[in-house]
Structure 1
Amino acid sequence: MKPGLQFRLNQQLALTPQLQQAIRLLQLSQLELAAELRQLAESNPLLEFAEDADAEQDEAEGESEFDIKASAPGSDTSSSNDNDEVPEWTEPDIRSDEPIDFSSGNGSGSGSNNHDDEGMEPQNAAAESLQEHLLWQLNLTPMEPRAKAIATVLIDALNTDGYLAEGMDAVLAALPPHLKATAEEVESVRRRLQHFDPAGVASIDLPDCLRAQLEQFDPATPYRDLALRIVESELELLARNDMAKLARRLHASEDETAGAAILIRSLDPRPGAAMDTTPVEYVAPDAYARKEGTRWRVALNPDSQPKLSLNQHYCNLIAQARSDDASWMRGQLQEARWLIKSLESRAETLLKVAEAIVRRQSAFLDYGPEAMQPLVLREVAEEVGMHESTISRVTTRKYIHTPRGTYELKYFFSSGVSTEDGGSASATAIQAMLRKLVDQEDPRKPLSDQALAEALHGKGIQVARRTVAKYREILRIPSSSERQRNS
């Protein structure tokens, strides 16, 4: 052996393109998967969606049926082309004492209605946005062209809540240079916009928004002036519901302060939110959990994964073509088969994982969040014979519909806290117990974090006070002192 030469043996895992594709498909959500498959189907002629194949088949059957009818003996198509005579119109016999039935018959009115019902779907008008609503009012408001140009820029800068979130400096920078508008001029236009509908738009912050709404009340409105003073400088005390201190600061009685607080709380802190045209997004479940007898069953949503198939027309062409001519098509066919196999593997994996989760969390489905069991990725991975990373991909942005609601599969995983009997309780179950304790407490004497921890100890759950505080913050439950002030 020559000096300097060494032999080494090592193992290296190489991911094939097909395996990489299967892993990528596994972690995609429904919408992302549909977009990915649509793109792959457009680039590979051997792939087609099941609904596209059915549509082509229906179209072909329709064309053949039309040809048969057109060539049938005794057809009047030729005579109708030769004779251009139009049948003479005769006035229908309608008696004034007989009701007219527009719901049936072969008249033009009835035919039109039937066509609308069968072929046309009612279309709802697009919701008017906040900017469109304000611009409509601006066009009806007597205002100088220069002021209207400034108002248009202000309206365009509003966020969905109706605020100038980026401040007046951003508005001044967005104004056309030829206007040469001053900050005082822009502020004057902004004040006018604040009195448009909805009142309080084009505000800089919350006090500015509430002040603009209060200014539109009649000056004789009870507690209006006191409410304006609170909005200008004492909103923090109002948020704490500390009426005694607020009354002392304002040199007013507690009854007057409470009346002003009621008036302020009747205002809208987000005047533009009511006209938000952002469409609501709904979650489509990937699987369903149903109880049959005493057992829970899991089934995949048939619409959760697009159905791909091979285009039989091109497959037949490959079989008939010579090897040299069909080499590229055979490669596309192999890729199409791999993709379909990857989709089948994705569905099988998702079903296995969902079934394992439902088996582990059947108590939650039967009794609610307080019965949630501790569960980690490793336990499910060992049960289904897969790696933890695979379980993580499968449970991300995948949803299951249960009688208790629709949940992301990740929701069913939580760490455990030891109990006195040697068992463990999940963090989700402890949070549900914590919420129940707070809901049942005396509003005049709310439980502190230490008292909540001791109450959980009484249920056999060993949890520290700082853990209770952490869970309380996750649940967005105020502290005991804040709960007492708000009661």
Structure 2
Amino acid sequence: MALGQSLQQKLLQKLSPQQIQLMKLLQVPTANLEERIKEELEENPALELGEGEEGADANEEMVDEFETSPDEDFEKDGSEEDYEDVDISEYVVDDDGEIADYKMKDDNYPEMDDKQTIPIKLEQSFFDLVLDQLGMLDLDERRFKIAEQIVGSLDDDGYLRRELSSIADDLAFRQNIIADDKEIEDIIKQIQQFDPAGVGARDLQECLLLQLKRKSSEGIGVQLAIQVMSKYYDEFIKKHYDKIQRGLNLSDDDLKEVIHQIIKLNPKPGGNVGEINKAESYIVPDFYIINNNGILELTLNSRNAPDLKISEGYKDMMKEYDKGSKKDKRQKEAVLFIKQKIDSAKWFIEMIQQRQQTLISTMGAIMRHQEEFFLTGDVTNMRPMILKDIAEKTGLDISTVSRVANSKFVQTEFGTYRLKYFFSESLSTDSGEEVSTREVKEILNNLIDAEDKQKPLSDEFLTDMLNEKGYNIARRTVAKYREQLNIPVARLRKEL
């Protein structure tokens, strides 16, 4: 096949570096913004922390990340020729450091002390606890290594879910220790005597039995519970209490005592040891909404976004170059580097500003759309809302709204919510009114909470009750909503 040339015309959408930077910044929650700014400060010496400069106009016109200026040229590659004819007067103007400076202070919420440190809790991990107890066993070096291998095979909940043959293979290939299943099983039995009770169990049934056997001297109720877990485990988890009563000839009081003993047990013995430091798991809200005498006030949490400015030292270097002969090649290379860093710093500051404006605009639209909910805190007052609704109100792209909603939180008088919580599909009532599926789920949850636990409501009966309230909903939809609320079927909700 002969080679040939052709001329083609294509229309492509090309994102500028600034647009890409803004998209990434929008996805960063307030809790991580400080770290992102520190990274930029380390990479760009022309960017510095400010000290209380006056902020930029908060009412500045917001620009969508996908809009481009017709005069914007993104083909420059930063070469020396690109900067050869650039007027550097904008870099040497003595304006008391007001180039692209901004302020992100919030008068309503005082800034935290930068020198304040969060104490780190000293704690022992679950595996450290088990290994410490391992040293109390009378084991030779070979059996101790086998025990270490078993402990290392435990998962975070304290279960041993690996097969004995797999543990034996690991010992043979990695430790050069040949051990049979019986020897491994004997060591597992010793480890199962460790604290917390239930550690080293292969499944939930064995875990609960290990805990009950530790309490076997506490009374007849524990003895009956051991029998139930040993002989009628499947019937218990399926709540077939009548079969258990007939099989063990138990009275209603005996059965209640058995259930009371079992529900006190811990299904995850390793889960309560060495918990993650709660100081690290706190949610830092990105927005605050306050009800001021019936008027909602929205503020942006900006404590993790300090003032930024262009380095005075870099501006001084530009002034020195402007006064010089400008013929030294090294000076031209230096000024090229300085211009690139200053431009990068200005872009970053502008992106932080635009991020603020986008967040405020998006949250403001959500607040106005769900005003009844923010005033009352009643989920049944929540209106249907999708990303498109907010995009139309703000003039932003749907993907921009999605980036804002994905990882942001808002603090209200009724709790802290993820922004995605306020988005829901609509459902038609008998009167033709559009209501939020969130409202239907809340009513469904209330119906189940109020039911007689000895005779829980079936999905079909729940459907009839919702239809009587005017919600046109099918039984399979009720089942789907119930599963989304992590509510089991009627049989598993039954209580004595």
TM-score, normalising length: structure 2: 0.77
Tell me if structure 1 keeps the 8 A contact 2:198–2:269: yes
Look up the match of 1:145: 141
Tell me if structure 2 keeps the 8 A contact 1:240–1:486: no
Look up the match of 2:342: 333
Look up the match of 2:240: 242
Task: Determine the C-alpha separation between the residues in 2 that align with 1:174 and 1:308.
Answer: 55
Could you give the per-residue CA deviations for residues 111-158 of structure 1, whole angstroms, max 9, x where no partner exists? Answer: xxxxxxxx9999666111122222222223333333322222222222
Single out whichever of 344-353 and 297-306 deviates more from structure 2. 297-306
Could you say if the C-alpha distance between residues 429 and 218 of structure 1 is closer, same or farther in structure 2, counting changes exceeding 3 Å?
closer
Task: Determine the C-alpha separation between the residues in 2 that align with 1:5 and 1:319.
Answer: 51
Look up the match of 2:175: 177
**How far did residue 333 of structure 1 move?**
0.5
* Alignment pair present for 1:164 and 2:154: no
Could you give the per-residue CA deviations for residues 459-486 of structure 1, whole angstroms, max 9, x where no partner exists? Answer: 3322222211111111122223332x23
Aligned to 2:291, the other structure's residue is in SS state strand
Single out whichever of 15-24 and 286-295 deviates more from structure 2. 15-24
Tell me if structure 2 keeps the 8 A contact 1:376–1:414: yes
* Alignment pair present for 1:422 and 2:422: no
* Alignment pair present for 1:196 and 2:194: yes
Could you say if the C-alpha distance between residues 217 and 461 of structure 1 is closer, same or farther in structure 2, counting changes exceeding 3 Å?
closer
Q: If each structure's helix is expressed as a fraction of its own residues, which one has the higher value? A: 1
Single out whichever of 289-298 and 165-174 deviates more from structure 2. 165-174
**How far did residue 235 of structure 1 move?**
1.6
* Alignment pair present for 1:375 and 2:385: yes
The root-mean-square deviation of aligned C-alpha atoms, in Å, is 2.9
Look up the match of 2:462: 452
TM-score, normalising length: structure 1: 0.78
**How far did residue 310 of structure 1 move?**
1.7
**How far did residue 294 of structure 1 move?**
1.9
Tell me if structure 1 keeps the 8 A contact 2:291–2:375: no
5 Å matches for 1:107-122? none
* Alignment pair present for 1:130 and 2:130: no
- After superposing on structure 2, the runs of 4+ consecutive aligned residues of structure 1 that deviate more than 6 Å are 4-9, 119-124
Structure 2 unmatched runs, 5+: 54-114
Look up the match of 2:209: 211
User: Counterpart amino acid of 2:457?
Assistant: L
Look up the match of 1:28: 28
5 Å matches for 1:323-362? 324=332, 325-362=334-371
Could you give the per-residue CA deviations for residues 55-80 of structure 1, whole angstroms, max 9, x where no partner exists? Answer: xxxxxxxxxxxxxxxxxxxxxxxxxx
Pair member with larger Rg: 1
Task: Determine the C-alpha separation between the residues in 1 that align with 2:374 and 2:463.
Answer: 26
Look up the match of 1:436: 446
Aligned to 2:411, the other structure's residue is in SS state strand
Single out whichever of 182-191 and 144-153 deviates more from structure 2. 144-153
User: Counterpart amino acid of 1:235?
Assistant: Y
5 Å matches for 1:178-327? 178-218=176-216, 221-250=219-248, 255-280=253-278, 281-321=281-321, 322=326, 324=332, 325-327=334-336
Tell me if structure 1 keeps the 8 A contact 2:224–2:258: yes
Aligned to 2:194, the other structure's residue is in SS state coil
Greater relative contact order (CA < 8 Å, ≥ 6 in sequence): 2
Structure 1 unmatched runs, 5+: 54-118
Aligned to 1:299, the other structure's residue is in SS state strand
Single out whichever of 152-161 and 249-258 deviates more from structure 2. 249-258
Tell me if structure 2 keeps the 8 A contact 1:160–1:272: yes
